[in-house]
Amino acid sequence: MAKKDILFRSRLKKARSLLESGQLEAAESALSRLVHAYPRNAELWLLRGVLEGKRRNPVAAADHLSKAAELQPENSAIQYNYGIALRDSGNYEHAITTFNRAVELNPGHDEAWDCLAHAYIASGDLDRAIDTFKIIIQRAPYKAEAQSNLGSVYQAQGRLSEAEECYRQALSCKPDLEIADNLGSVLVSQGRFEEALDVYRNGFQRQTGKRKVLSNLLLTLNYLPGLDQAEVLEEHKQLNPLFSRMHRYSNELDVSDASDRIRVGYISPDLREHSVAYFIEPLLERHDRDRFEVWVYSVTARTDATTQRLRSLAEHWVDVSALTFEQTAEIIHQNKTDILVDLAGHTACNSLPVLACKPAPVQLTWLGYPNTTGLEEIDYRLVDALTDPPGQEDYYTEQLIRMPGCFLCYRPPEDAPAPSPLPATGNQGVTFGSFNNLAKINDGVIALWAQLLERVPDSRLLIKNPSLTDENTRIRYMNRFKDAGADEARITLMGHTPTRQQHLELYGQVDIALDTFPYNGTTTTCEALWMGVPVITLAGDRHAARVGASLLQALGHPEWVTDTHDLYIEAAADLVSDLTRLGSIRESLRDEMAASPLCDAGGFAGKVEKVYLDIRRHGSG
């Protein structure tokens, strides 16, 4: 070997060693010198791409790796790494082509197959993701991760029975808490709560991974009717021992200078096309920037156009989706956040471990979860007098702050179609509807709706939810209605619709929307009202069962709020007794809603800001 080649190999080995040990600056310097001397060496461009990937700079990584691919187009490792850079920079279409090239060159490249499947998911092509996971499973039948990933895609498509089968197959290959957690989730989506609770409670007995499974268990409890609130509170308190070893910051709210802007941070995994976005957007938009410095900590892994719109409304936007809980807490603490607001509670991908570190002197929870978090480090919970009347304090670890009026403000989708004419005028009979989460439709709800169908002759019921895409789930729910005495010929169960526009257009087939209990709708209630469809709700004894009452009171229609089963039926029957009046309501409801406190972003922001100002005046909780 020539002396020059030996020297090159020695320097290349040194550069690779620096890269692998994390000495990125030194590695960059070494590689830059080598590339200058050997500009047509593909391996050098590959290493430069890997280096930029480690720096979380995927655009630069893709640029370097494209050069490597030009020099060695038949190198599967280069194609694989190039695909990763393209994926991480959001160029999913090109990433898919590149990953396909990698597996074509090396069919045994398991990581490339897996990346290809996930790139299909990111691009929205779930059918090809399914085909790819099936290839992976065919190559390695006992690979639990692939079985579980396939189950997740089926679940996203509403194919719940197939998802359940995949999760159970994955568990037979590898008893894994995260897979068990996914199984519990798909059981909840089918309304099989007791089975889901068994899965979660069994998982909670394990030594690791308890927090996530506990959050899902607690979320599931909100769907179950008849649970004692004191017992539910004790279940939530199980969270605190899980965080006993986490570092806690010691800080106090600075109340010395009332002229300083208050630094408010919002943390959420749902800053995308999601229910939370409809309610956080008006607040972000209308915050008084002279008095408040607004920080948003986004845990949103998959972003979209809604993410970009929300980002434009924040003074500071920090993407913490790839950081550990401890790293996120440190950033929030270093930013000297005065008030940190959690928007997720125990819902998916929550950041409760961050709040357990108490990175801000005052911490609140609001919006995303209809119950206490149980976390001692959260000081307050934002509610209102209707959702949480006097006496509810006994069932929270947080101190309740009751906002005047409704605790929510809704931002309607700009692309919502206009309300359609009343369908009952063109059809035979009235159509009741519910587009709520299927898990909220329990046996008590089914029994009451069956009674309503009997009370209103020739009426029909349309239930729409992505979970009903699954045939076995449709059959199970239809049988539950038949067991309750309903005529299946008068019931339509509808699954997934591809777009939000199509989803909203379906309200054109509904005359009156029916709220669920004891877990009311929130976004579904607001979108039905925006589409001109009145909503009948049954108010219960806890927050989740009283959100509908708060929304309708803010709208100015308390007559649609009931507190007994009989009154629920009579309120719905009364509305359909006069179709002329019902048609007038449909024509005017959107304008009423737009002019109501429910859509008054400025007024709502002012109320929230008064809460923050009062907190600063009185110090931390």
CATH code assigned at 41: 1.25.40.10
Same domain, 280 and 392: yes
pLDDT (average), residues 70-99: 95
Residues 584 and 611 in one domain: no
Q: What pairs with residue 342 in β-bridges?
A: 267, 365
**Residue 241 domain-assigned (yes or no):** no
Q: Is the pLDDT of residue 300 over 60?
A: yes
Say if 228 falls within a structural domain.
Answer: no
495 φ/ψ angles, rounded to the nearest 5 degrees? -95, -140
Distance CA 406, CA 551 (A): 7
Residue 361 and residue 620 in contact, taking contact as beta carbons nearer than 8 Å: yes
pTM above threshold 0.75: yes
Close Cβ partners of 608 (under 8 Å, ≥ 6 residues apart) = 283, 382, 403
Residue 181 lies in a domain: yes
Same domain, 1 and 79: yes
Q: How many domains does the chain have?
A: 4
Same domain, 335 and 363: yes
Among 13-27, 308-322, 376-390, the range scoring the smallest mean pLDDT is: 13-27
Instruction: Quote the CA–CA distance of 312 and 321 in Å, as a whole number.
Output: 18
Beta-carbon contacts of 471 under 8 Å, excluding residues fewer than 6 positions away, are: 161
Q: Is the pLDDT of residue 202 over 90?
A: no
Do 133 and 280 belong together in one domain? no
Both 488 and 522 in one domain: the answer is yes
233 within domain boundaries:
no
CA–CA distances in Å: residue 227 to residues 238, 266, 440, 480, 565: 17, 31, 15, 22, 18
User: Is residue 441 within 8 Å of residue 463, measured between CB atoms?
Assistant: yes
Same domain, 205 and 312: no
Both 146 and 190 in a single domain?
yes
Answer yes or no: is 92 within a domain. Answer: yes
Contact 349, 269 (CB under 8 A): yes
For residues 347 and 237, the answer to whether their CB atoms sit within 8 Å is no
Taking alpha carbons only, the member of 358, 340, 197 closest to residue 263 is 340
Domain finish residue from 107, 139, 171: 139
pLDDT in tens, 350-366: 999 999 999 999 999 99
Q: Which domain holds residue 611?
A: 262-409+602-618
Rounded Cα distance, 456 and 463, in Å: 17
125 and 8 in one domain? yes
pLDDT at 154: 94
Tokens of 240: 């605190």
Residue 226 falls within a domain, yes or no?
Answer: no
Pairwise CA distance, residues 395 & 423, whole Å: 43
Within-domain flag for 514 = yes
CATH of the domain at 436: 3.40.50.2000
* Residue 161 is assigned to a structural domain of this protein: yes
Cβ atoms of 546 and 249 within 8 Å: the answer is: no
Question: Are residues 492 and 397 located together in one domain of the fold?
Answer: no
pLDDT of residue 426: 78
Statement to judge: residues 336 and 439 lie in one domain = no
- Give pLDDT, residue 176: 87
pLDDT in tens, 497-552: 989 999 999 999 999 999 999 999 999 999 999 999 999 999 999 999 999 999 99
Confidence of residue 35 (pLDDT cuts 50, 70, 90): confident
SS3 category, 365: strand
Measure the CA–CA gap between 69 and 59, rounded to whole angstroms: 15
